[in-house]
Structure formats: structure tokens, C-alpha cells
């Protein structure tokens, strides 16, 4: 099954900064719980005891963030990831994902300046070396104010 993204601005286009073991917040094609998301934003998982963090600069131009958060097929079996989404420094979504499930994201970002996504392995002993992010925000789109 393949999905295409809704109308909006891809989240990765608003990338500002990262703190992770790999290139976070980049455009990727992701498969999450068996569904392909062609216009996704990569989400590295902190496997060293610290969360991987990515900041996106919104500049007050957007009303909503929609996405499907999940883990890609190359994620080690059994790995659970705790993730948060913060808008202007306030956590607005806190969730846990595994390779076999996803979490729908629909967050009000009206007039917000920044959005921060964090992800950390619940048990980092399950992590293995990877050249691509375990996690992704499938079809992560920002809806401009007024649309």
C-alpha cells in the first residue's frame, strides 16, 4: 500500500538544527507498519541514553502538523521508542512507537515559531548500527495558515 502526502509544506523543509547520531530531519521514503510514505521526514532514535532531537523553524506561518509516526522495517525487533513533539517549548504530544504500529500526529501549531521532535530508545541495548534512521514521520506536512 502506498500513500501520497496531503497538500502542505513538507516538515523537512523547515529543518533548523539537530542533535543526533545521524542526519536527522531529512527527506526520506519510509515504510511504517507495512504502509509506504513517499514524502517523509527521517527521525533518528537516541540509542546512547540521550534523545535524538530535531528543531524545525516555523516562523508563525503554519496552522497544523499532520503525520504518521513509526519505525521502519530495519528497526531491531522489540525496540520501543519514546517520542515527544513540543511546540514553542511545550510538549503537546508524548507517545511510544514500535515497528509494528504507528501513531497519528495532528498538532495545532498556529502561529508557533518552533517545533521540536525528540526520540529515544526505551532499551538502548536493542539498538544496532544503522546508516538510516529507525524512525520516520510519514507524510509529515505543515498546513500554512489560511489554507
Instruction: Give the bridge partners for 57, in sequence order.
Output: 114
* C-alpha cell belonging to residue 104: 497519528
Cβ-Cβ contacts under 8 Å for 129 (sequence gap 6 or more): none
User: What pTM value is reported for the model?
Assistant: 0.92
3-state helix, strand and coil shares in percent for the chain, rounded to the nearest 5: 5, 55, 40
Nearest to 42 by CA among 7, 72, 2: 72
- pLDDT tens digits in sequence order for the chain, 147 residues long: 334 445 799 999 999 999 988 888 999 999 999 999 999 999 999 998 999 999 999 999 999 999 999 999 999 999 999 999 999 999 999 999 999 999 999 999 999 999 999 999 999 999 988 889 999 999 999 999 986
Q: Which pLDDT does position 80 carry in this prediction? A: 97
Residue 6: its pLDDT value, please?
53
In this structure, which topology does domain 2-126+133-140 adopt according to CATH? Jelly Rolls (2.60.120)
At residue 20, the pLDDT reads: 87
Q: DSSP 3-state assignment of 56?
A: strand
Report pLDDT for 5: 46
Residue 109: the pLDDT is: 98
Amino acid at each position: 500500500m502506498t500513500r501520497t502526502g496531503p497538500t502542505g509544506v513538507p516538515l523537512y523543509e523547515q529543518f533548523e538544527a539537530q542533535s543526533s547520531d545521524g542526519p536527522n530531519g531529512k527527506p526520506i521514503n519510509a515504510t511504517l507498519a507495512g504502509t509506504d510514505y513517499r514524502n517523509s521526514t527521517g527521525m533518528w532514535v537516541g540509542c546512547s541514553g540521550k534523545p535524538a532531537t530535531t528543531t524545525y523553524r516555523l516562523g508563525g506561518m503554519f496552522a497544523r502538523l499532520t503525520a504518521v509516526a513509526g519505525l521502519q522495517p530495519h528497526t531491531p525487533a522489540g525496540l520501543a521508542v519514546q517520542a515527544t513533539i513540543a511546540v514553542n517549548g511545550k510538549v503537546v504530544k508524548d507517545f511510544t512507537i514500535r515497528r509494528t504500529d504507528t501513531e497519528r500526529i495532528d498538532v495545532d501549531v498556529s502561529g508557533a515559531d518552533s517545533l521540536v521532535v525528540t526520540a529515544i530508545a526505551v532499551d538502548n541495548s536493542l539498538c544496532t548500527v544503522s546508516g538510516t534512521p529507525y524512525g520516520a514521520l510519514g507524510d509529515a506536512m505543515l498546513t500554512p495558515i489560511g489554507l
